[in-house]
Amino acid sequence: MSTSGNTMPGHAAPLRYDTASRTFHWVTVALVLATIALGLWIAHARPEEEAFKLTLYNIHESIGVTIWIITLARLAWRLGHPAPPLPAELPRAIRIAARANHSAFYLWLLTMPLVGFLATNAWGFPLRWFGLIPLPDPVGKNIPLAETLTAIHRLMAWTLGAMIVLHVFAALWHQAVRRDGTLRKML
């Protein structure tokens, strides 16, 4: 499968992800990077001004919920639109690593927003999505639970960061070292 430069519309295995899958991917990238930046800001730079801080929390949390919804839609789409095949000569261990990385992304993008959402509820701050739509408050104020969920959210944030670094290095490795057209499948 070193023929990834060929395009034969309507024939052969698909050489790229379809347009919707690529859009899902890059919209998610933009939203996840924005959410992480805001998360680090609120958790570590702790802005002084209360109203501003609450706005940052609200944007972080609202984008996070949006990522959750987009990921559900993306997975539903993915069921009917499989990924283009990996390069045939790719070693087995790398294939397994790639699949594990992608599955872990989906798992994180589905559970992190939930954990963050329940943490916010447990701190006693029900969320209004972008200040507009009030969301349910299933747990109510519960500080010990809030502390646990926040610790989990934080741990997941750092592992997500590590997964992103690995994923980006893998993409660049495919592009610069193996030159096997993997990056182009997502562009």
The residues binding ligand HEM (CB under 6 A) are 25, 28-29, 32-33, 35-36, 39-40, 42-43, 60-61, 64-65, 67, 78, 83, 86, 98, 102, 105-106, 109, 112-113, 116-117, 119-120, 127, 150, 153-154, 157, 160, 164, 167-168, 171, 182-183, 185-186
Report whether 17 contacts 83 (CB < 8 A).
yes
Tell me how far CA of residue 94 lies from CA of 84, 87, 100, in angstroms: 16, 11, 10
Cβ-based nearer residue to ligand HEM, 43 or 145: 43
Report whether 122 contacts 149 (CB < 8 A).
yes
User: Token pair for residue 171?
Assistant: 């993409």
Instruction: Look up residue 82 and give its DSSP letter.
Output: P
Cβ-based nearer residue to ligand HEM, 8 or 164: 164
For residue 43, the minimal CB distance to ligand HEM (Å) is 3
For residue 93, the minimal CB distance to ligand HEM (Å) is 14
- Please report, as a single letter, which amino acid is at residue 108: W
Cβ-based nearer residue to ligand HEM, 8 or 117: 117
Helix, strand, coil shares of the chain, percent, nearest 5, are 70, 0, 30
For residue 82, the minimal CB distance to ligand HEM (Å) is 8
For residue 147, the minimal CB distance to ligand HEM (Å) is 10
User: Token pair for residue 177?
Assistant: 């070292």
For residue 9, the minimal CB distance to ligand HEM (Å) is 20
Cβ-based nearer residue to ligand HEM, 28 or 148: 28
Hey, which bits of 33-181 come out as E strands?
A: 128-129, 133-134
**Other C-beta atoms lying within 10 Å of the C-beta of residue 136:** 9
